Chain A
Amino acid sequence: GAGVSQTPSNKVTEKGKYVELRCDPISGHTALYWYRQSLGQGPEFLIYFQGTGAADDSGLPNDRFFAVRPEGSVSTLKIQRTERGDSAVYLCASSLTGYTEAFFGQGTRLTVV
Chain B
Amino acid sequence: KQEVTQIPAALSVPEGENLVLNCSFTDSAIYNLQWFRQDPGKGLTSLLLIQSSQREQTSGRLNASLDKSSGRSTLYIAASQPGDSATYLCAAPAGGTSYGKLTFGQGTILTVHP
Instruction: Name A's B-contacting residues (CB within 8 A).
Output: 6, 31, 33, 35, 40-45, 48, 50, 55-56, 91, 93, 95, 98-107, 109
Contact = CB atoms under 8 A, between A and B. Distances in A.
Interface residues of B, number: 26
4 A-B pairs closest in CB distance: A42-B104, A102-B100, A98-B98, A106-B43
A107 B31 CA distance: 26
B46 A103 contact: yes
B108 to A, nearest CB: 11
A101 B99 contact: yes
B53 interface: no
Contacts, number: 72
Interface in B67-114: 89, 91, 94, 96-107
B44 interface: yes
Contacts of A50: 97-98
Interface of B: 4, 31, 34, 36, 41-46, 49, 89, 91, 94, 96-107
A76 B72 CA distance: 36
Contacts of B107: 41-42
Contact of A45 (B43, B44, B103, B106): B103
A102 B99 contact: yes
B101 A56 contact: yes
B46 A42 contact: no
Given A99-B99, A104-B45, 7 more contacts: A33-B100, A45-B101, A48-B100, A50-B98, A101-B100, A102-B102, A106-B43
Contact of B43 (A95, A98, A105): A105
A10 to B, nearest CB: 10
A109 B42 CA distance: 10
